[in-house]
Chains A and B, each alone.
Chain A
Amino acid sequence: MKPVYWALPAVVSVLVAAGCATGPRQMEAVTAEDLNIIKASFRAQGQAGLDRLDQDDAQKHCSNPPTVTIAKELAARIEKANFAAIKYPADGNLMGDWRAGERIAQTGVGMQFSDNPKTPSGGNCYACHQVSKEEISFGTIGPSLYNYGKLRGGASPEMQRYTYGRIYNPQAFTACSNMPRFGHNGILTEQQIRDVTALLLDPNSPVNQ
């Protein structure tokens, strides 16, 4: 197979126009042999062990170009399993301190083999999202979150639950989302997720000004 991948969108659009829709190319599954090569190419370092290369169901089925949409049933299966695994705080309190949330959103440290495992991880939200209006150094991989709460009618209990859950595990709502599963994979603590939830929903947060 000669790689002509970048020509695909053009080919696909022609096919679609001709009424013969085929999706963008899905990657062939990683074989046992591929996986052996991949694993032999890394060494455990610091807090990053080789077990980080063991893919869960979502990782396995989401290892595709972003133009690929996986089968509906598969997406539903991933979302259902991830949704069922969300753990909400036992005390039911989902809103923390938006100021602490802003610091978490600004910080990108955490879980790299070069990081001190004792230092709490950041959420690094600004790497990919616009969050507050004041911070102009923001990325564009994810949508803007400026006015997130304001646009959604404020911090109702339903919005709190949705927002907390979405940070805890975005793939509970959107299979193959680019966003890390911050609670599910233990990147952020319960309190940190509360704080980021508050950053997005608190009417006093700079996000909602």
Chain B
Amino acid sequence: MNRYLGIGKNLGLALLFGPLLAAGAWAQNNTLDEIARYRAQLQDGNPAELWEARGEDLWKQKRGPKQVSLEQCDLGKGRGVVKGAYAELPRYFADADRVMDLETRLLHCMMTVQGFSKADATRRVFGSGSNRSDFEALAAWITSESRGVVMKVSLNHPKVQRAYELGEKAFYFRGGPHDFSCSTCHAEDNKRIRLQDLPNLTQKKGAQLGYTTWPAYRVSQGELRTFQWRLYDCFRQQRFPELEFASELSIALTTFLAYNANGAAFNAPAIKR
């Protein structure tokens, strides 16, 4: 279904409300109301908690060739400090001389602290059914420890500033057979694809709404998805080649969007259709 519809992925919802589909604006308003009600009902119970619990275990377990737990990992606020860490990412890490988002930092720690090879650590960056991803579980737990914390990404370091500027340019970069860029769908207010509302990520309000609600449990996939996945799948639908996990561009775009979300309370893992 998702693959079939390409960028019109929201039709799943329309089908869910199939009995309501009748001609005319009345039916459409009614359907939009029903979708809003469905979204509100989803908030009651979020299976992301299962990923969070597994992530906390993974964080504390002694793992890898070195048999060390990730509690030795510094997410930016000191070794082992998780509370509020995500609200300040991406940031510059002197030990790697690089700007890193959460997943890139986790990969770095799996390699340097736990001794995993890159190939082993990145074998499954996005989960599928019983083939679970450690990154998704860890990200679920770590981000949950920033819930309610106000987003505060700093551009003070020149490398973070540079990442922001590259991310901004890349946001408007058109390419591929469809001429799409991120901005094709996310640079104007009150636009939709099919019935799916699109946040305007170039405005503070839209960036805050969009960024602070990832990671999210996707009902349509039965998976918890991280921000790396969000970018990866947007580019897939843009008809670009495959975005590399933890690539410099993925970090740059995350920096652009996370900084634009500054000032809002982080509110994830969320649940989305």
Contacts and interface: CB of A to CB of B under 8 A. Distances in A.
Does A associate with B in a complex?
Answer: yes
Interface residues of B, number: 66
Interface of A: 1-3, 5-6, 27-28, 30, 34, 37-38, 40-45, 48-50, 52-55, 58-59, 62-66, 107-115, 122, 124, 126-128, 133-134, 136-141, 171, 178, 180-181, 185-187
B183 A66 contact: yes
Contact of B202 (A6, A50, A62): A6
A48 B242 CA distance: 8
B6 A110 contact: yes
Nearest to A66: B187
A132 B226 CA distance: 36
B247 A53 contact: no
A186 B184 CA distance: 20
Contacts of B236: 112-114
Dominant secondary structure of chain A at its interface with chain B: loop
Interface of B: 3-11, 14, 21-24, 27-28, 31, 155, 164-166, 168-170, 172-181, 183-185, 187-188, 190-196, 198, 202-204, 235-237, 239-244, 247-250, 252, 259-260
Contacts of A59: 174-175, 179
A40 B246 CA distance: 11
A55 B174 contact: yes
A43 B241 contact: yes
Contacts of A48: 176, 239-242
A58 B178 CA distance: 12
A136 B27 contact: yes
Contacts of B6: 107-110, 112, 115, 122, 124, 127
Contact of A41 (B184, B185, B248): B248
B240 A180 contact: no
